[in-house]
Structures are given as structure tokens and as C-alpha cells.
């Protein structure tokens, strides 16, 4: 008899029939409309074949009418697999819990990422998002649509020019552009421009007021450079006189302009003759901890690598449960092998390095608009493997500062 198709889904059994003329049992099954296949004789008084699971009760009735014994030596198909699965309660319980856990984790917001904005504005947006119910640990189905969140943020955060909200799996990504707010400058009151330090003037540009000094004039700290009182100053050139006539006598204005002068600085620098440099070899190891206050519990990577010198970098994240911060942190430590090299400098190299270092420090102190004109060594000594230099730096910078005019 041909093999029945689709029996795996419904299930089938392998039946062994023992008795006199056992093949008559399968003939009786055929007459009753019970399909059987793979029938073969395994002994003088023994036959076996396959029968669908749904006919088991029917073949038992046939057996009672015949002088034979039947037994089931194999049970195959999905119903029997499912039945065996249900008999193992631990596996059933674990499977159900795993399924529920997967469903739970799949419906929880795990990450809110904000990019393209300064940290202060990020913190403000995070506070607003929490007010909308958008935070790590929130249910995804309780969140508003991304377009709604975007509209609310643009209304509630005036510093935002634009922000995009994108839902991606169990995370939400926000990318924004900060609005450039131009603050209206308050009108300046009557003022003069005076020198902040001594120097020799190299450039004068006056947009408002009367210049009181010329190019190549030497000035001391506090000297008047540009006057805002147009009627009480001595006129030093024809252009200033014309400006006074245009502004009108008796007028007091807010003097404004750019007065650049050549100034001088004396600075001391110490440079070692042996320079030390640190480089990373590229060899790295990862270690992971759970931090509880000052206590660190190793999770992975229990031993320090056998590097002579180690450079450590730490990345720490607070552990959260739903919307609550737990009193623990997950710490990822990156241990990199480093090497220290020494390079000997000559006296000339140390001097040149000192000059460059002094220029950079002076530039940071005075601002990017200042220009270093020159630098000279006034005094030089070598002590304890270090070169000590006294340097004389010439700088060109803006020396004007506003000074209010007191009303009389």
C-alpha cells in the first residue's frame, strides 16, 4: 500500500501484529477504510506497518474481533512531539517564561540617543522627553508618534531650530540643530578709549570719537587714546577737526575703534634636555566590572595583562531598571600597552622649543588676534639637566579699553 502523505502533521504509529496469519489484520483495515503503508512481514506470525494516529481506536476494535495481538513500537509526528514536550514541565515553564521575557523586552524602550547638540541643550531635551514619557525603560506602546514628539520639542524648547525623531526598534534617535540666537547689544553709553598697557602705536582705526594719539606715539597705561567728548579736546589733525564739525560741538559719544600697539613681555621658561614621549603599541585588553560605590566586582577579564606600562581608559554607564537608576554602574576598562621613549635635546634645540612654547602660551593668554612679532633670549642657564631661559617677546595687539565718561 502506498505511503500516505502529510502524516507528519497528523501523526502516525508503527504497529506490530502477532498471531496466526497477521497479514489478515491489515487486509481488514483496508476493508474498513483505514489506510496503512510500509507493510512487511518480519516473522512467520508477525507483521508490521504504519497507520495514522487518528485510526488507533478503530484498529483496537478490529483486534478484538481477531485472534492477534498488536503493539506500537514507534510513534512519529507533530502530535506525539508536542505531547512529549508537555510532559516535561520544567521545559514548558522555561519556554513560557522565555517567551514572556522576549515579549517584555521587545516592548521596552532601551535607548534614547541625542546627537548634534551641546550637552546643556541635550540635558534640557532629556528633561522634556521624560515629561512626555520618553525615557529608557518606558513601554513602547505608551509613546507618542515620532512626529508628535518632534512637534512638542520644537514648541517647548525655543533653542531648537530643527530636530528629527526616528524610532528604530527598541531605541529612539534624535538629531537636532541649535538655533543661533543673536542677542541685541545694548547701546553703549558715553565712553573714552584708554590704553591698558604701555606700548608704541602701530595702527589706529577710529569709528567714533576723536583720536588723541598718532602712529608711532609711545603710550603708558591709562593714557587717553580716543575721546568721546567732541567739544573739550585738542584737535590733533584736520581729519579729526572735520569729524568734530560733522558730529557737532558739545556732543558726547561712545568712542569706538581698534588701536593696535607694539608691546613687550618678559617670560621665563624651563625645558628639560631629555624629553619623554609616550606611545601606544596597539596591544589592548578589555576588562569589565560592576561598581557598587567604591567596590569593583570583576565580570570579565580578571587579570591585568602582562604589560610593563599600562594606559587605562574607562567607560562607565549607570545600570537602570525600567525608569529607575540603580545604585550600581557597569564599567568597561580598556587597558593599552604603552611605551616611554626618551629623546635628548641639544642646547639649541631646547632653546628653540622654549621659544615656540612661550609663543603658544602667550598666544593663549592674549587671544588669537594678538600677533607675536619676535622673541629673544635675555638670559640662559643649564641646571640639573634643564635649560632655564628668560625670554623677551614683542607682540602687536589691541590695547584699547572702554572707560565711561562721568557726567558732570
What does residue 380 show for φ and ψ, rounded to 5 degrees? -145, 130
Nearest to 28 by CA among 58, 57, 2: 58
Strands 111-115 and 386-398, sheet pairing = unpaired
208, 257 contact by CB (below 8 A): yes
CA distances from 188 to 143, 219, 251, 402, 403 (A): 50, 25, 15, 10, 11
pLDDT value at position 136?
84
pLDDT value at position 2?
47
255, 403 contact by CB (below 8 A): no
Per-position DSSP letters for 288-326, written without gaps between them: EEEEETTEEEEEE--S--S-SSEEEEEEEEEEEETTEEE
**Residue in the structure block whose three cell numbers are 498471531:** 19
pLDDT value at position 53?
84
pTM for this predicted structure: 0.43
The CATH number of domain 111-178, selected from 3.40.190.80, 3.10.105.10, 3.10.20.310, 3.90.550.10: 3.10.20.310
Residue 405, sorted as left (phi over 0), alpha (psi -120 to 50) or beta, turns out to be: beta
The CATH topology of domain 7-82 is Alpha-Beta Plaits (3.30.70)
Buried b (16+ CB within 10 A) or exposed e, 360-386: eebeeebeeebebeebeeeeeeeeeee
5, 66 contact by CB (below 8 A): no
Per-position DSSP letters for 29-71, written without gaps between them: HHHTT--EEEEEEEETTEEEEEEEGGGHHHHHHHHHHTTEEEE
Query: Which neighbouring-strand residues pair with 370?
Result: none
What 3-state DSSP class applies to 99? helix
* Cα 288 versus chain centre, distance: 19
Q: Is the CA virtual torsion 31, 32, 34, 38 positive or negative?
A: negative
C-alpha cell, 349: 634645540
* Number of other residues whose CB lies within 10 A of the CB of residue 205: 11
Question: Using CA atoms, how far apart are residues 300 and 287, in angstroms rounded to an integer?
Answer: 6
C-alpha cell, 387: 635649560
User: Per residue of the chain (408 residues), what is the pLDDT tens digit?
Assistant: 445 445 777 788 888 888 878 888 888 888 888 888 888 888 888 888 888 888 888 888 888 878 788 888 888 888 777 777 777 777 778 888 887 777 777 777 888 888 888 888 999 999 999 989 888 888 777 788 888 999 999 999 888 888 999 888 778 899 988 877 666 667 677 888 999 999 999 999 988 888 998 999 999 998 998 888 876 544 444 454 554 455 444 588 888 888 999 999 988 888 888 888 788 888 899 888 888 877 888 888 888 888 888 888 888 877 665 556 667 788 888 899 998 888 888 888 888 888 888 888 888 888 888 888 888 888 888 888 888 888 888 999 999 888 888 765
Report the chain's terminal Cα–Cα distance, integer Å.
125
In 201-335, which ranges are continuous DSSP H helix?
A: 238-247
Q: Which long-range contacts (CB under 8 A, 24 or more apart) does 269-272 make?
A: 269/354, 269/357, 269/358, 269/388, 269/389, 269/391, 270/386, 270/387, 270/388, 270/389, 271/345, 271/350, 271/351, 271/353, 271/354, 271/357, 271/386, 271/387, 271/389, 272/345, 272/350, 272/385, 272/386, 272/387
337, 309 contact by CB (below 8 A): yes
pLDDT value at position 1?
46
Amino acid at each position: 500500500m502506498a505511503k500516505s502523505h502529510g502524516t507528519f502533521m497528523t501523526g502516525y504509529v508503527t504497529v506490530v501484529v502477532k498471531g496466526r496469519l497477521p497479514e489478515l489484520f491489515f487486509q481488514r483495515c483496508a476493508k474498513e477504510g483505514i489506510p496503512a503503508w510500509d507493510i512487511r512481514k518480519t516473522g512467520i506470525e508477525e507483521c508490521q506497518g504504519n497507520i495514522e494516529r487518528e485510526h488507533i481506536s478503530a484498529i483496537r476494535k478490529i483486534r478484538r474481533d481477531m485472534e492477534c495481538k498488536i503493539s506500537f513500537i514507534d510513534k512519529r509526528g507533530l502530535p506525539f512531539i508536542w505531547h512529549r514536550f508537555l510532559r516535561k514541565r520544567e521545559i514548558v515553564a522555561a519556554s513560557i517564561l522565555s517567551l514572556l521575557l522576549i515579549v517584555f523586552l521587545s516592548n521596552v524602550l532601551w535607548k534614547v540617543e541625542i546627537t548634534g547638540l551641546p550637552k546643556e541643550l541635550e540635558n534640557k531635551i532629556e528633561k522634556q522627553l521624560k515629561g512626555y514619557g520618553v525615557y529608557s525603560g518606558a513601554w513602547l506602546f505608551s509613546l507618542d508618534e515620532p512626529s508628535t514628539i518632534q512637534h512638542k520639542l520644537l514648541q517647548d524648547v525655543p533653542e531648537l531650530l530643527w530636530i528629527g525623531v526616528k524610532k528604530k526598534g527598541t531605541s529612539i534617535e534624535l538629531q537636532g540643530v541649535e538655533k543661533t540666537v543673536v542677542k541685541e547689544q545694548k547701546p553703549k553709553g558715553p565712553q573714552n578709549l584708554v590704553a591698558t598697557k604701555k606700548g608704541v602705536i602701530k595702527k589706529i582705526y577710529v569709528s567714533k570719537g576723536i583720536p588723541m594719539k598718532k602712529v608711532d606715539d609711545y603710550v603708558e597705561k591709562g593714557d587717553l587714546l580716543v575721546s568721546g567728548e567732541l567739544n573739550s579736546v585738542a584737535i590733533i589733525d584736520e581729519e579729526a577737526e572735520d569729524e568734530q564739525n560733522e558730529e557737532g560741538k558739545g556732543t558726547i559719544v561712545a568712542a569706538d575703534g581698534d588701536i593696535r600697539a607694539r608691546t613687550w613681555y618678559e617670560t621665563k621658561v624651563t625645558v628639560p634636555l631629555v624629553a619623554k614621549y609616550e606611545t601606544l603599541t596597539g596591544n589592548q585588553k578589555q576588562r569589565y566590572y560592576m561598581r557598587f560605590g567604591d567596590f569593583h566586582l570583576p565580570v570579565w577579564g580578571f587579570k591585568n595583562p602582562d604589560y610593563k606600562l599600562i594606559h587605562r581608559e574607562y567607560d562607565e554607564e549607570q545600570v537602570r531598571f525600567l525608569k529607575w537608576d540603580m545604585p550600581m554602574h557597569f564599567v568597561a576598562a580598556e587597558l593599552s600597552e604603552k611605551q616611554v621613549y626618551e629623546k635628548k635635546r641639544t642646547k639649541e634645540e631646547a632653546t628653540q622649543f622654549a621659544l615656540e612654547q612661550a609663543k603658544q602660551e602667550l598666544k593663549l593668554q592674549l587671544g588669537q588676534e594678538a600677533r607675536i612679532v619676535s622673541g629673544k633670549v635675555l638670559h640662559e642657564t643649564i641646571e640639573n639637566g634643564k635649560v632655564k631661559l628668560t625670554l623677551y617677546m614683542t607682540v602687536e595687539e589691541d590695547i584699547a579699553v572702554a572707560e565711561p565718561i562721568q557726567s558732570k
